[in-house]
Chains A and B, each alone.
Chain A
Amino acid sequence: MSGARILVADDEPQITRVLRRGLSSQGFEVQVAEDGEEALNIFRQWKPDLIITDLSMPGMGGLELCRRLRKISNAPILVLSVKGDERIKIEALDTGADDYITKPFGMDELFARIRVALRRKSTTISDDLATLEIGDFSLDPQSRTLKVRNEAVHLTPKEYDLLLHFLRNPNRVLTHRVLLGAIWGGESVEQHEYLRVFIGQLRKKIELNPADPKHIITDPWVGYRFNP
């Protein structure tokens, strides 16, 4: 992981200075862009492993940058947002950003998010039919059976689809819209109550204490995050 290339896009020079210095001290290679346009140019030539981008920048902002990057790459994108940017932040996550961190943030938190994002990248699932063994979970796509902490758990087809999607995207914010779109298709993306019901059922089956979930974590007003 050390030596990974990180591209930072932010129009605030002081912030990019700190990030460049802090990330370099962790052994990352860092390049900095002042806006989306420049970030795209650097991305094409330098092929970074991860992108950290601010949302509001002059010219091409973070949202548009996410859109453009997703057309050409699967590299993890971490969005820097401030409170008040919720709508645009969710839009960025819907568009394909992997995670967000709210300004002001501590560097250790940023490092942790970066590690998770890079790890996920290196463990992308190639075989759709291979058994997924992640944390407490063991899921066999061929028989559509699930074991949690070595005990078989029966899931309805929709619950199964939902959990599969979570297992394939661990430690990542999944917005309501993304989850609804993935499980029920495009038409139901506005019906958050669907999702709430299924999340509730799933929690009852896989969580030790459904009232205090440790695996499916609610990210308020954004969506859910799955910790294996």
Chain B
Amino acid sequence: MRSDRFGYWVGLAGVGLAVLALLPLRSYVNSTPIALTFLLVVLFTAVHYGRSPAIVASLASVFCFNLFFLLPYRTLRIADPQNWIALAAFLLTSLIAGRLSLREKRRAEEAETSKLEIERLYAELQAAFAKASEAEAIKQSEKLKSALLDAVTHDLRTPLTSVKAAVTTLLAENGGREPSVNLDEEGRHEMLEIIDAEIDRLNRIVEGLIEMAKIEAGAMESNRTWSHIDEIVSIALARAASITSDHPVRLEIESDLPLAQVDEKALAEVMYVLIENATKYSPPDSEIRVFAGRNASGALQLSIEDRGIGIPADFRERVFEKFFRLAEPSFPTRGAGLGMGLAIARGIVEAHGGRIWVEPSPGGQGTCVSFTIPQQERQSTV
């Protein structure tokens, strides 16, 4: 804000300038345009600096008008009516213009205040939204916990039930309780086989839970090395060999793929999950295709494509939710896991800055899951 005195000086300087500018012309023009010029100075002062500087400018203008521009020059003729008319006009202009400008200023200030008020409200609203989404996040995590509990009751208990039933059958055989159970050698062997398989299943569930906890704790960062994607693909395929024995697997890897800084084990896990899903949800002997290449923006892109039953459009995003499983009548739940595989896969891909999505396989039948790994700048240290 300029100092209050500044306006007075500007007004007086304006009057002085007007006098200097008009002096050479005073013999050619009459007093009216001269008075109007002074009036302009007064008006300007009033608009910009308010009433008081404008009144001072008015008085100075009347003084100068009288002194320099009313005949005879350099004499003050107080009695001249032109003088009074000019004085009245200048003062009125000062008052009215000053008032108008004051009003204008107030309005501007009001506008400024309301702008600040709006900004404040907006900030408050944003804070409220942030709080709400925090609450939502907490609610989500509560939901997640209960989903975990559900998953645990159903999915841990299923293998536990088989194990318990098998073990108690074997025990009843030796317990001699009436009526006793009579198992033949084959029956005993089958019970043991079931126990073995179900313990592996329990172990897989526990490993899945650990994997998910790791991703959530952000453990992915530290294990990254510069790796060849084709190597990771072949590691995953080797691991999946036992489950892909029913399916021909076609591998298409673009040549000259650049190295990528990734967590090899984690990415191999993603590939494994996707291959496992492909085998689970497609008929035996149907082909599974694995592509690795670069997409339009230069990111690495991997896709696993099957000729299976496909995923309804409504569920293509939801399948990545933790513990989500398709409960469609048409969808086999046989051998279905905990609903963690794709959630883990998404966690890993996103930790690498990539994206994962589901679409129908080209050609319509089946599912194609793709994910990208953005290309990083290679550090000179490696």
Contacts and interface: CB of A to CB of B under 8 A. Distances in A.
Report whether chain A binds chain B: yes
A59 B332 CA distance: 10
Interface of B is mostly: helix
Interface string A81-95: 011100000000000
B153 A15 contact: no
B331 interface: yes
Interface in B304-334: 327, 329, 331-334
Interface in A2-19: 2, 11-15, 17-19
B159 A14 contact: yes
Contacts of A26: 179, 181
B180 to A, nearest CB: 9
A105 B327 contact: no
B214 to A, nearest CB: 27
Contacts of B332: 58
A104 B157 contact: yes
A220 interface: no
B329 A15 contact: no
B161 A21 contact: no
B96 to A, nearest CB: 82
A128 interface: no
B331 A58 contact: yes
A22 B182 CA distance: 9
Contacts, number: 92
Contact of A12 (B162, B166, B190): B162
Contacts of B334: 11, 13, 34
A84 B163 CA distance: 20
B175 to A, nearest CB: 8
B100 interface: no
14 contacts: A11-B334, A15-B161, A18-B165, A21-B183, A22-B166, A27-B179, A56-B154, A82-B157, A83-B153, A103-B160, A104-B165, A107-B169, A108-B175, A108-B177
Given A15-B161, A82-B154, A107-B172, 11 more contacts: A18-B194, A21-B183, A21-B187, A21-B190, A24-B187, A25-B183, A84-B149, A84-B153, A84-B154, A103-B160, A107-B168
Interface of A: 2, 11-15, 17-19, 21-22, 24-27, 34, 56, 58-59, 82-84, 103-108, 110-111
Interface of B: 149-150, 153-154, 157-166, 168-169, 172-173, 175, 177, 179, 181-183, 187, 190-191, 194, 197-198, 327, 329, 331-335
